[in-house]
């Protein structure tokens, strides 16, 4: 499917295109894909090669996203796709985000059917989750607008690596976000995730300032982002730049994908992280995967 031409720029001299769907701003030569491996330059036009193809569809308790303060006790209809705009070495969903060619087969579905399924399962919302939804922006926007017409709320579970342009659009149709704030270290974002921390922090600020429901998840990884100073820094960011009312989820990591040599996070670190966050006044702090 051809991507709307306001989401990419064509070069006047070459056949290259610059995708502006996420903060990678990939410059893609004719016949090649961007980092997410979903968008392809075909004769100087950008095509979304996975429009209408999903990896998973299922009703879930909304607390699984995790969102603990948005429509609590309800079901949300979860939709996952393929690919990602980050390349995290510890990805817990790498079988759909990175190496899906080896493991997964897609399901073809149209927006109308997703909304019908959500209603049939008595869901109160739909959630774009499991892989990074931003890279499927045209598909999830169309589906989300249909869902909202049927009084369903829309949730993004995301790494927050939006371009300014895509965040402008996303804010028009998403009601609640869980953003994965992976670390407060620029080096961690660069070397472990292939991304830029500042973009994520700016986008978190913007989502909060727009008054959207926001919860944050931080996966604590043994030896990488589990220092007390980094946990303090992350909590300070929430307190100073966002608000004490933003729920914070600390989650335990296990050896996985290209980080199969780490130890499972010591639960004591998670308990300490919760104590630090509560001491700073953050009202709602949760622990996951323990």
Beta bridge partners of 287: 250
Q: Which stretch binds ligand SF4 (CB under 6 A): 18-26, 200-208, 230-238, 253-261?
A: 18-26
Q: Looking at beta carbons, which residue is closest to ligand SF4?
A: 34
Least gap, CB of 266 to ligand SF4 (angstroms): 34
CA pair distance 112, 142, nearest whole angstrom:
9
Q: What is the DSSP letter of 111?
A: H
Beta bridge partners of 176: 155, 213
Q: Which stretch binds ligand SF4 (CB under 6 A): 20-28, 53-61, 179-187, 265-273?
A: 20-28
Nearer to ligand SF4, 8 or 177 (CB): 8
Task: Provide the Cα torsion 166, 159, 155, 105; round to 10°.
Answer: 100
Place of tokens 């995301």: 158
Angle, helix 228-241 to helix 197-209, in steps of 10 degrees: 30
Q: Compute how many residues bind ligand SF4; rule: CB under 6 A.
A: 13
Helix, strand, coil distribution of the chain in percent, nearest 5: 35, 25, 40
The yes or no reply on residue 51 touching ligand SF4 (CB under 6 A) is no
Cis peptide before 66 (omega within 30 of 0): yes
Q: Which stretch binds ligand SF4 (CB under 6 A): 14-22, 122-130, 227-235, 253-261?
A: 14-22
Q: Which of residues 67-126 bind ligand SF4 (CB under 6 A)?
A: 85
3-state SS, residue 138:
helix
The yes or no reply on residue 36 touching ligand SF4 (CB under 6 A) is yes
Nearer to ligand SF4, 30 or 60 (CB): 30
The yes or no reply on residue 39 touching ligand SF4 (CB under 6 A) is yes
Nearer to ligand SF4, 24 or 218 (CB): 24
CA pair distance 59, 53, nearest whole angstrom:
18
Nearer to ligand SF4, 91 or 285 (CB): 91
The yes or no reply on residue 199 touching ligand SF4 (CB under 6 A) is no
Q: What is the DSSP letter of 7?
A: G
| Interface with ligand SF4 (CB under 6 A) | 19, 21-22, 24-26, 34-36, 38-39, 85, 135
């Amino acid at each position: 499917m051809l991507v709307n031409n306001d989401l990419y720029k064509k070069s006047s001299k070459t056949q290259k295109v610059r995708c502006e769907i996420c903060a990678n701003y990939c410059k893609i030569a004719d016949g090649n894909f961007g980092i997410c491996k979903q968008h392809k330059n075909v004769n100087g036009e950008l095509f979304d090669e996975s429009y209408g193809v999903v990896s998973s569809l299922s009703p879930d308790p909304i607390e699984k996203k995790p969102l603990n303060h948005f429509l609590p006790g309800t079901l949300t209809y979860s939709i996952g796709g393929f690919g990602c705009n980050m390349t995290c070495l510890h990805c817990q969903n790498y079988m759909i985000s990175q190496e899906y060619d080896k493991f997964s087969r897609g399901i073809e579905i149209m927006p109308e059917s997703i909304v019908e399924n959500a209603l049939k399962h008595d869901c109160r919302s739909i959630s774009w989750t499991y892989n990074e939804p931003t890279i499927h922006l045209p598909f999830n926007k169309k589906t989300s607008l249909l869902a909202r017409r049927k009084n369903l709320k829309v949730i993004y579970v995301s790494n927050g690596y939006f371009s300014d342009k895509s965040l402008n659009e996303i804010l028009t149709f998403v009601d609640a976000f869980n953003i994965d704030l992976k670390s407060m270290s620029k080096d961690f974002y660069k070397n472990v995730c292939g991304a830029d921390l500042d973009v994520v922090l700016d986008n978190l600020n913007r989502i909060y300032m727009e008054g959207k429901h926001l919860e944050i998840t931080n996966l604590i990884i043994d030896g990488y982002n589990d220092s007390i100073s980094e946990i303090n820094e992350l909590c300070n960011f929430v307190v100073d730049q966002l608000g004490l009312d933003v729920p914070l989820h600390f989650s335990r990591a296990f050896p996985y994908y290209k980080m199969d040599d780490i130890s499972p996070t010591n639960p004591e670190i998670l308990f300490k992280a919760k104590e630090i966050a509560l001491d700073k006044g953050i009202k709602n702090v949760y622990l996951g995967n323990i």
